[in-house]
Amino acid sequence: MTNLASEPEFEQAYKELVSSLENSSLFEKNPEYKTALKVCSIPERIIQFRVVWEDDKGQLQVNRGYRVQFNSALGPYKGGLRFHPTVNLSVLKFLGFEQIFKNALTGLNMGGGKGGADFDPKGKSDNEIRRFCCAFMSELGKHIGADTDVPAGDIGVSGREIGWLFGQYKKQTKLWEGVLTGKGGSWGGSLIRPEATGYGVVYYVEHMIKYASGGTESFSGKKVTISGSGNVAQYAALKVIELGGTVLSLSDSQGAIIATTPQGIDPEMIEIIAKLKVDRKQLSEVAHTSAFSSKVKYIDGARPWLHVGQVDVALPSATQNEVSGEEAEGLIAAGCKFVAEGSNMGCTKDAIDAFEAHRNFKKEKWVWYAPGKAANAGGVAVSGLEMAQNSARIKWTAEEVDEKLKLIMKNCFENGLQTAKTYVTPKEDEFPSLVAGSNIAGFTKVAAAMKDQGDWW
């Protein structure tokens, strides 16, 4: 990696994985896995292309498009498309690298990839976004397919954009196939897909709470701070409320709303926020209305972590590196016991180090942390279930999909837990490291498949 231009996000993700592997007994027991690490840290293929589109004034605009096809050992490349001005190769390589091991943890046959463009949908008309999607897929469509690479949505790419992308792919190829996930429910989409990441992270934390308490506790009565206000945050909040918890916060890139009543943020407020986000507007536009002002306070430019007071569970669900080391220490001081990432790499290395240093459950201030590659795997898991339904030309009920999602998240938790116990001996009175366990479990599964296929030996 030393001969490459600086790629800070990817380097952070790579070092986090390597740290887990090196601080375990994996390489001692299986020294050949050092070779596997060298191989799987380089993408199989990176596709870069220009996207030329016409704005509403008839003027040509150009953006950069990407698809990082990172690893196909376990199945077709699988990972979202992100439309955001911060998109670059480092960000997409980090996301694709994480996706490899996240997908492995689901137990489904999916490889890892990621893509997108440095296009900013904010401030664009619907027609401009549609024209951009068509131009983007005109090039991307040459490199994907139901058995090759199956993208999904991510930041800036909702079900609406998936529809436009799918339509353009179908026009070009004359194929109706499950080439994208997150499709509309009437034309190949899976029920529970919009909810899946948010629901999944809550299901995962349920198992953390049950394990830590010996089965005596649940989300009932827990105070939960959540960042973000997109799909992941919205549905995580709704599931927390359904299970008896209280939601203390939501946020966006401009600021945070913090609950000021014991009831917390309620489903009616979340419904208003969901409509707001469809229109790509900010929380500040509703925070001071009558529906919100008596129940929350708005803090401009802030993340919620240091403003919620006493808290039991923290769910970073916005974007990468949204919890700093200082904020992690603040959450620990506020009594937070469980942290799980709804976003990808939501915590900085300093934050992870702080959480990992406080796994001793005999101390008054302890916390147990779960990384995104395990805790937020529910979204891609249901994408995998959507692929299965498309292949069989069937449609499962919401209850069937939800039960499968619950089982996948249970297996994600138990796989990481048991792998940590196998390869990392915890200190006395410490919870097993879910970071190490999830990293090792995902990596070893991918590495073994690559070896079987002759990618290393």
Annotated ligand binding at 170? The verdict is no
- Band (pLDDT 50/70/90 cuts) for residue 312 is very high
130-164: pLDDT as tens digits: 999 999 999 999 999 999 999 999 989 999 999 99
Q: Which of 42, 47, 103 is nearest to 70 (CA)?
A: 42
The domain covering 43-173 belongs, at the CATH homologous superfamily level, to: Leucine Dehydrogenase, chain A, domain 1 (3.40.50.10860)
CA-to-CA distance for 399 and 404, rounded, in angstroms?
9
Q: Which CATH class is domain 195-375?
A: alpha beta
Q: Is 107 exposed, middle or buried (0-12, 13-18, 19+ CB in 10 A)?
A: middle
Annotated ligand binding at 102? The verdict is yes
DSSP assignments along 122-191, one per residue: TT--HHHHHHHHHHHHHHHTTS-BTTTEEEEE-TT--HHHHHHHHHHHHHHH---S--SSS--GGGTPPT
401-418: pLDDT as tens digits: 999 999 999 999 999 999
Annotated ligand binding at 93? The verdict is no
At residue 127, does pLDDT exceed 60?
Answer: yes
DSSP label of 6 = P
408-444: pLDDT as tens digits: 999 999 999 999 999 998 889 999 999 999 999 999 9
348-372: pLDDT as tens digits: 999 999 999 999 999 999 999 999 9
- Residues serving a catalytic function are 114
* Helix runs in 174-307, H state only: 196-213, 231-242, 267-278, 290-293
190-201: pLDDT as tens digits: 999 999 999 999
Cβ-based neighbour number of residue 396 at 10 Å? 18
At residue 88, does pLDDT exceed 90?
Answer: yes
Annotated ligand binding at 295? The verdict is no
> What pTM was estimated for this model as a whole?
0.93
3-state secondary structure of 299: strand
199-236: pLDDT as tens digits: 999 999 999 999 999 999 999 999 999 999 999 999 99
Do residues 290 and 280 lie in contact, with contact meaning Cβ atoms separated by under 8 Å?
Answer: no
- Band (pLDDT 50/70/90 cuts) for residue 2 is low
Annotated ligand binding at 383? The verdict is yes
Provide the residue ranges of all domains of the chain, joining segments of one domain with +: 43-173, 195-375
Q: Can you give the pLDDT at residue 426?
A: 81
Annotated ligand binding at 346? The verdict is no
Q: Residue 117 is encoded by which pair of tokens?
A: 């463009």
